[in-house]
Structure 1
Amino acid sequence: MPRVAGSPSCRETDQREERRIGRSLRLSGLPSGYTLGNFDFVFQPSIEKARIETLATSAYIQQSETVLIQGPPGTGKTHLAVALGIKAIEHGFSVAFYTLEDLIHAARQDVDRQPKRMKGVKYLKSSLLIIDEMGFQPLSREDAALLFRVVNYRYGRGSTIITTNKAVKDWPEILAGDEVMTTAVLDRLLHKSHVLHVNGRSYRLKNLEKMLA
């Protein structure tokens, strides 16, 4: 017998789903306030809204694909990444959000763990890992190796969204100048990927312009 909208069973199901989403959002570490609904596509015309809406279905996560969001600081890269993370949670996927600095810090703490225990680590087991702010600071060779370890483990197991202010050709600058390691990282990330280029103005400068007008 089909459920009737507004019936007690419907309300109970909706409440369970709301609790699941709320709990998943808390565990994910996603910053609040960034949704697709409040992203200004008019201000940032280099972003194809239809393409973002396709990614918002989270089909790429089922295929363990990467989303690489490139562009200058302040152009909404983090906003898009977080909004896609929220959509992933709404579709039932687990999500983990880290800045690159925080991810490397966590990976340093876990470096001596036994392989069996590593399987329970959030940044490895989540269906979607979001790595924000890649490129602001270069990594040491040891830290670049930790990033490779994370990328290599997740390859074929989960999806990753990366926001970066560096073009792919400049990634050796991030990864300790090691072109071999950079190639290995990019090979795994870009094998199945969606690359978004955000080439618009800075939202932060837009707000500053309003204040100074």
Structure 2
Amino acid sequence: MKQELILNYCKQFKLSGIACHIETVLQEAQSSQMSYSDCIIKLFEKEAQTRETKAFERRISAAKLPGNHKLDQYDHSFENGINKTRLNQLRELNWLDQIFNIVLMGSSGVGKTYVAAGLCFDAIKAGYKAYFRTMEDITNMLKLKDITKSAMTEYRRLSKANLIVMDDIMLFPLDKPVAIALFNFINQQYEKTAFIITTNKSPKEWAHMLNDEVLATALLDRILYRCEVINLSGKSYRIKNRKTIFN
């Protein structure tokens, strides 16, 4: 009866961590003759752990990471121009605290997206607000933010980010209004948000994709102001490890 009353109070005050562990903790308290204060501390520890886990799961969901995003599983035998020491240095996230940008350049399949997503995942684990978005995601948001509620919610979410990954930037040409909106967004964020940008286009090609050399120069000026440019090279990992339906 008393335990049921406790569970009702847990539900009322949204203490799901305590509710899930109350029985186990009480049994442990009885068997080990735990003091009242230690028992209460134990229950609140369970609540804190539950909330931390749920918050992490929410951040992971909001980040929209691709399937491969854990750098602990990174294949260091794949030669693409970034060695284990350099990657581990990036994983320390000192650049994120300093609001530095990372630009990963290279052809398709050399690991740009994997590294970017992995650093985003590391940032989330460290407690940062970090999000992974493709160029298409970003441009669609900018087109629709003044039209749909969901796009405006996304815009506000990204505006508060510590880190934004923009995958495959300049993969396709942009219409002038979208290009201007992209510049305005980055101009608004670059002093308070770190960016990881992946691209297979050289800075010279950005002007062509934007059809505006002045705008491309201004955009690159913001991104490269505090930035580490990493050129990845080599053959495509996907082609090298191509799957087949035959044995």
Which residue number in structure 2 is paired with residue 123 of structure 1? 158
Deviation string 1:21-66 (CA, Å, 9 cap, x unpaired) is 2111001111233211122121124112222212212222222211
Cα gap change, 1:128/1:174 in structure 2, threshold over 3 Å: closer, same or farther? same
Cα gap change, 1:203/1:212 in structure 2, threshold over 3 Å: closer, same or farther? farther
- TM-score when normalising by structure 2: 0.74
Q: Does 1:98 align with 2:133?
A: yes
- Of residues 150, 159, 167 in structure 1, which corresponds to 2:202? 167
User: Residues of 2 paired with 1:33 and 1:209: CA distance?
Assistant: 16
- Of residues 91, 95, 111 in structure 2, which corresponds to 1:76? 111
Return the index of the structure with the highest Cα Rg. 2
Alignment root-mean-square deviation, CA: 2.6
SS across alignment from 2:228: strand
Give the structure with the larger helix fraction.
2
Contact 1:41-1:49 at 8 Å conserved across structures: yes
Deviation string 1:108-136 (CA, Å, 9 cap, x unpaired) is 112579xxx88961222211111111132
SS across alignment from 2:242: helix
- Structure 1: 5+ residue runs without aligned partners? 1-6
Q: Percent identity, aligned pairs only?
A: 31
Q: Which amino acid aligns with 1:184?
A: A
Higher RCO (C-alpha 8 Å, min separation 6): 1
SS across alignment from 2:136: helix
Deviation string 1:63-90 (CA, Å, 9 cap, x unpaired) is 2211100000111111000000000011
Cα gap change, 1:11/1:112 in structure 2, threshold over 3 Å: closer, same or farther? closer
Q: Does 1:26 align with 2:61?
A: yes
Which residue number in structure 1 is paired with residue 21 of structure 2? none
- Structure 2: 5+ residue runs without aligned partners? 1-41
Q: May I ask how many residue pairs the two structures share in their alignment?
A: 204
Cα gap change, 1:9/1:137 in structure 2, threshold over 3 Å: closer, same or farther? same
The aligned runs of 1:80-159 (5 Å cut-off) are 80-111=115-146, 121-159=156-194
- TM-score when normalising by structure 1: 0.85
SS across alignment from 2:103: strand
Q: What is the CA distance between 1:10 and its match in structure 2?
A: 6.1
Q: Which amino acid aligns with 2:222?
A: R
SS across alignment from 1:160: strand
Contact 2:80-2:111 at 8 Å conserved across structures: no
Q: What is the CA distance between 1:18 and its match in structure 2?
A: 2.8
Which residue number in structure 2 is paired with residue 193 of structure 1? 227
